[in-house]
Structure 1
């Protein structure tokens, strides 16, 4: 883990950065500062540009450091971009710094809606930065989605080789306290639009997120759900076979799009109703 990445994950760094951004916003300078930062990073060769199908986006803060990891993600994003229409509603659950959020925001256009769920404060700020430099919008929410309602602690670990691991649990200790909510509850309570397409990448909590969306997923006539299944699902009391059973139970057809081997195995599923 590089020192630069580690420092950006530090809670003190995050708190200071949030405070500075709030001050700049009050002064009306936040957009100007973001543009200057983007220009500087671009000149320094630190801006990543990604083109997929009919859309492209730039990223100042970026998670997938390994090009091999990005190769798989591009295939999934390409399928999503190919599937969504202008005006669709897209939920990005586990949005991280916005790899999917920014590209799909462009695909659904201003007529569509993107809701990005990212509970970690550092990644949320990076997500917002990336939305700004791409001139796209999304509703950014900080709830951690699950199949229950409670407070929890999010522990964040960055790994250079295999991306990030995010765990939400009840354990006391260092981490960020977050609201854990059911998808069905937050959609009804906040009057969010019903999703047409959902992407879930939650480092093992996939089954819990799906169970929390059971009513919505069951009631909609048409919906596509893209799920990155992790070996760590057993840490959250579930299994990959239970995910398949759950989806088929509510009348979704499931196909395996890709498999990726790192220090563990990730399976990329597409469920269609």
Structure 2
């Protein structure tokens, strides 16, 4: 009779769990993924075109995002990517895997998720390629209430967005925020070639704090607007038209896609 060791049995159970993770309801997925992060059980390999990275996510939930593909298409070795709303780091990790000489600055205001981001960077051996920053971006320096959602991807400075899809507010805490313009001026963040923004209803504030960067350094912008619907109050999401107006004012051409916009500086880059 074949003897199965404890580590082999645990590994087999984890593989079985991971195989069904894609079909789990949101609440079950986040509980299971949270346990995997909490106990650092297994960091599985995720493929990115010509490279790969490891993370404690149960599977590569955003590996097929249109917006991520657009970023990888335009990025080059030596470029700087500022990943605003990095969450557990899928975009930053993908850039580091595909472009070994690129630099990703992964900005994540949620303290709990910032720790998981750090764990994923370490699991992939990308400490020299990804620079995590635990803060939020906004139009002005200061601090703002941050709403931690039970579905961590929905956590936001916008309460409504943190409660979408049946999620609830797990906690609220004050978090430091800075304009990107100030961080670049101070040398804390290098001037970006690419600026990715997915901040659950706070994108306009991020862009308002990055006007000088956009006007001077002309990065490609990849943004996922979270539009508010007609008749809803200003607290319920953001007006995608306001984001569009700001970018058009700064002479960006907007290319809409499946899950966001690619915004190309007119007359400066191809």
Gaps of 5+ in 2: 1-26, 160-169, 266-270
Q: 1:63 & 1:215 partners in 2: Cα distance? A: 37
The answer to which of 111-120 and 52-61 deviates more is 52-61
Aligned: 1:143 with 2:135: yes
Q: For each residue in 1:96-117, what CA deviation from the matched residue of structure 2 results, as whole angstroms up to 9, or x when unmatched?
A: 01111111122331x3221110
Q: Secondary structure at the match of 2:78?
A: coil
Corresponding residue to 1:83 among 74, 84, 103 = 74
Corresponding residue to 1:122 among 96, 112, 125 = 112
Q: Greater share of strand residues, 1 or 2?
A: 1
Q: 2:30 & 2:256 partners in 1: Cα distance? A: 36
Distance change >3 Å, CA 7–CA 272, structure 1 → 2:
closer
- The 4+ residue runs of structure 1 with deviation greater than 3 A are 6-9, 61-65
Distance change >3 Å, CA 61–CA 76, structure 1 → 2:
same
Query: Counterparts of 1:51-62 in structure 2 under 5 Å?
Result: 51-61=47-57
CA RMSD after TM alignment: 3.0
Higher CA-based Rg: 2
Distance change >3 Å, CA 131–CA 251, structure 1 → 2:
same
TM-score by length of 2: 0.72
Distance change >3 Å, CA 72–CA 240, structure 1 → 2:
farther
* CA displacement at 1:3 relative to structure 2: 9.3
Gaps of 5+ in 1: 18-33, 260-267
Distance change >3 Å, CA 3–CA 51, structure 1 → 2:
closer
| Alpha carbons 2:158, 2:201 under 8 Å: kept | no
Q: 1:208 & 1:106 partners in 2: Cα distance? A: 30
* CA displacement at 1:56 relative to structure 2: 2.1
Partner of 1:262: none
